[in-house]
Structure 1
Amino acid sequence: MVLAAGLAGMTAGCAFLYGLPYLLPRLRADGLSLTQAAALVACPTFGLLATLVVWGWLADRYGERRVIALGLGGAGVALLAAAAVSGPIALGACLVVGGAAAGSVNAASGRLVLGWFGAAERGLAMGIRQMAQPLGVAVAAVEVPVLSASDRAPALLFLAAACLVTAVLIAVVVRDPARVESGGAFEAGSPYRTPVLWRVHSAGALLVFPQFAVATFGLVFLVDAEGWDAASAGRLLAVAAFGGAAARLLAGWWSDRAGTRTGPMRVLAGVTGVIVALLAVGAAGVPGIAVTALVAAAVVSVSTNGLSFTAVAEYAGPGWAGRALGIHNTGQNAVAALTAPVLGAVVTHAGYPVAFAAAACAAVLAVAVVPSVHLPDRVAAR
């Protein structure tokens, strides 16, 4: 029940945080350029960056239930305000505040998994938890283009309602695990005394680049380059997002069986690089590749998030997990925030093939950065 409620809360938060790119056609119809609209949908991520470590510290100190419920409630209120304002500056400000509040679910819900599940089942449990991001994107892909067909307010009200309802659900259903101040790779002291966590953070951030390149520009690529209408493109990407949720689940199960989170993460990073490179080739005009590669990239590019989160939480241990996950999320969301405006400018001036090729290179670089971390003694760095 705790895992299900946490999944629901994170799905609502992710529908807002990572589903706003499906508002891009509406924003462009309102007169914004692609670069301007992409910067606007990245605003929640900029808010997220300012608060993730703080939310993680609060979860370490006061528990997950209150932190997640408070954050989701705050995000819902900010989205209500976003639906009521008119200008892009006011809208951007509301989205920044909402993102800052929604950061609580990213930092604290992973800590719930660490507390309630043992090492032999934690990868699968974190995979279930991490299904929330593609599920949230799938919900946004189906609903946001339709609700924003004539005005953006209905879509924002829908996202606000999702956050507010799940905030109440979390407050009622979730129970914090027993407080434990030791465990993980270190019984005491900072887990950052070795480079292992920094390498996991770096690899996770690199892998966000192709993930958000596809998530942010998949819809507009299908509309602009492939001639799809926004609703049909949204439905296709929603199906791909469900595939991404299944990929996260399978990746977590694989890591439990393999006794390592980073081994599968390295393999999946390489697969992501190959598929996104094929997407770049298809975008360059090679027939019969682009749409299939886009769907495959949307599935595979999200598969590693749960693995990196589990590796960070286990290596840091319960006493540091909230802060370490906050740092991990900060790096990932910094890249996510920059991906939309930077690649928006790249697409405008150089085209989709160059943008997708850059994303493929980031995935290939991540293969070299991922450390080897195994679980013979719970978590041991090699």
Structure 2
Amino acid sequence: MTQQAAAVHAGSARRDPWRYRWVVLGIATFTQAASGFFVGGIGALGVQLETALGLSAAQLGLLVSAAQLAPLAGLLVAGELLDRYGERWVVGIGAGVVGLALGAGSLAPGYPALLGALLVVGAGYSTVQPGGSKSVASWFDASRRGFAMGVRQAGLPLGAALASAVLPVVAEEFGWRATLVTGCLVALLGAGLFLGCYRRPPAPPVLPEKEPSVPLSAQLRARLRMLREPSMVKIMLAGTSLVSVQYGVGILTVLHLHREASVGAGQAARVLVAAQGAGVAGRICLAAWSDRSRFGRHAVVLVCMAAVIAGLAVLMTPLGGAPVVASGVFVWLGFFGFGWYGPWVAHVTETAPAGRTGFALGLAMSVNQLAVITVPPVLGLLIDLTDSFTPAWALLALPTVAALAGAVGAELRTRQREPRR
């Protein structure tokens, strides 16, 4: 009888539909990595693109900004579509648009046309970031959500690390156009996998309340009130400062090592790969830590802010010109400056109103886009004007210091107002 009971239990476990969450996590991570593959590798292609297209550092940064411009509004649209229609088609079609735009970009006659192709890439990518996060959040409960979200968000630095290792080799052998073809094929593979394998969790999703009698403009104003919520303000200040560091490190690591530390382009690209690999580990480890931290997920984000401030400070000293030290600092910045996103996005999903997870993710990520769009070309322009990387690193450090000081001050004031026991 005991054996029969054990067999029944084993059969039930095999039929447990929630076990599919690990498949969902895998395909969401892969689609994230595949969709961000080419854009994540632009920093590693810096030397080759500067040579082939005659670009300045500011123009190189503008390539990253072009890919991030459409999500400024697209993330809000994508968030609303996700809440209404679910993740499968919204994410799958968006990833497909990324692939097709990269394929068209490989035919670009020059720099302006390449910028246009990357604008379309950004429009498609607008669905992948919030859609993948929402799909994972819907399959995992709070006890595992941080870890799962960290794994999923590791897709971005994972894709960037692979791109940084592969695309420079492709560019050397076949030219810069071949790198866009490679990115096209990888993105289309991610789109097909998500469309073919994703499905909704067994439990019915929490749907937004119907608002048939309320005008669309009024609905949008109601949603944008989230911007005034103290919890969302705290989230967005941390997000904009840290995402600036993330993209600054991604676009400037190779150039800094090549110019300031006299490291060859190939070796500098390998350091960037190591930094992005550290970012993969950071997103998983820091998100898993946030699951167990008694101070909450935001406290882990604050630790990341303090860590990146320390790393940027070292780069602004003469030690930033020492190859070994600078390489180690970039790996450190990879762990914390990329790893923050796992606990941060898990915190966003748990702060969002019921049934509005997609829109909350889109809203928070769209605010981040303001920094993503402006920071890379501004950093490049500073370097072009001053012929030094110190002002660029200072520009990243100062807002992070201000955001950290503001968050700590707000936390102390909250604790002072709490009644003593």
Q: TM-score, normalised by structure 2?
A: 0.83
Q: Which runs of 5+ in 1 are unaligned?
A: 184-188, 374-382
Work out the CA distance in 2 between the residues paired with 1:287 and 1:235: 13
How far did residue 365 of structure 1 move?
A: 2.2
1:17 aligns with 2:52: no
What do residues 231-261 of structure 1 show as CA deviations (whole Å, max 9, x unaligned)? 2221221122111111111111111101511
Question: Which of 195, 207, 220 pairs up with 1:181?
Answer: 207
Among the aligned pairs, what percent are the same residue? 31
1:324 aligns with 2:347: no
1:216 aligns with 2:251: yes
Distance 1:64 1:370, change over 3 A: farther
Which residue is 1:8 aligned to? 30
1:45-60 → structure 2 map (5 Å cutoff): 45-60=68-83
Maintained 8 Å contact 2:238/2:301: no
How far did residue 363 of structure 1 move?
A: 2.2
Amino acid at match of 1:278: V
What do residues 308-327 of structure 1 show as CA deviations (whole Å, max 9, x unaligned)? 11111111044111111111
Work out the CA distance in 2 between the residues paired with 1:162 and 1:122: 27
Maintained 8 Å contact 2:349/2:361: yes
1:250-289 → structure 2 map (5 Å cutoff): 250-259=285-294, 260-282=296-318, 285=321, 289=325
1:1-382 → structure 2 map (5 Å cutoff): 1-30=23-52, 31-149=54-172, 151-177=175-201, 178-181=204-207, 192=226, 194-259=229-294, 260-282=296-318, 285=321, 289-350=325-386, 351-370=388-407
How far did residue 283 of structure 1 move?
A: 6.2
Which residue is 2:215 aligned to? none
Amino acid at match of 2:34: A
Distance 1:180 1:81, change over 3 A: same
Maintained 8 Å contact 2:257/2:326: no
What do residues 56-98 of structure 1 show as CA deviations (whole Å, max 9, x unaligned)? 1111110011111000001100000000111211111011011
How far did residue 331 of structure 1 move?
A: 1.6
Work out the CA distance in 1 between the residues paired with 2:289 and 2:185: 35
Work out the CA distance in 2 between the residues paired with 1:37 and 1:265: 29
Work out the CA distance in 2 between the residues paired with 1:6 and 1:285: 39
How far did residue 182 of structure 1 move?
A: 7.4
What do residues 159-204 of structure 1 show as CA deviations (whole Å, max 9, x unaligned)? 1111101100001111123311379xxxxx8572622112201211
Maintained 8 Å contact 2:83/2:355: yes
- Structure showing greater radius of gyration is 2
How far did residue 34 of structure 1 move?
A: 1.8
Work out the CA distance in 1 between the residues paired with 2:241 and 2:100: 32
Report how many aligned residue pairs link the two structures: 368
Instruction: Tell me the secondary structure at the aligned position of residue 199 of structure 2.
Output: coil
Which residue is 2:16 aligned to? none
Which residue is 2:419 aligned to? none
How far did residue 368 of structure 1 move?
A: 2.9
Distance 1:317 1:282, change over 3 A: farther
Work out the CA distance in 2 between the residues paired with 1:113 and 1:367: 29
Work out the CA distance in 1 between the residues paired with 2:34 and 2:318: 33
Maintained 8 Å contact 1:146/1:231: no
Maintained 8 Å contact 2:263/2:323: no
Distance 1:283 1:45, change over 3 A: farther
Q: Which runs of 5+ in 2 are unaligned?
A: 1-22, 210-221, 412-421
Maintained 8 Å contact 1:71/1:105: yes
Q: TM-score, normalised by structure 1?
A: 0.91
Amino acid at match of 2:37: A
Maintained 8 Å contact 1:78/1:94: yes
Dislocated runs of 4+, deviation >6 Å: none
Distance 1:27 1:319, change over 3 A: same
Instruction: Tell me the secondary structure at the aligned position of residue 338 of structure 2.
Output: coil
Maintained 8 Å contact 2:271/2:330: no
Aligned-residue RMSD, C-alpha = 2.1
How far did residue 53 of structure 1 move?
A: 0.8
How far did residue 289 of structure 1 move?
A: 3.0
Maintained 8 Å contact 1:276/1:294: no
Instruction: Tell me the secondary structure at the aligned position of residue 205 of structure 2.
Output: coil
Work out the CA distance in 2 between the residues paired with 1:288 and 1:138: 20
Deviates more, 1:235-244 or 1:123-132: 235-244
Distance 1:369 1:200, change over 3 A: farther
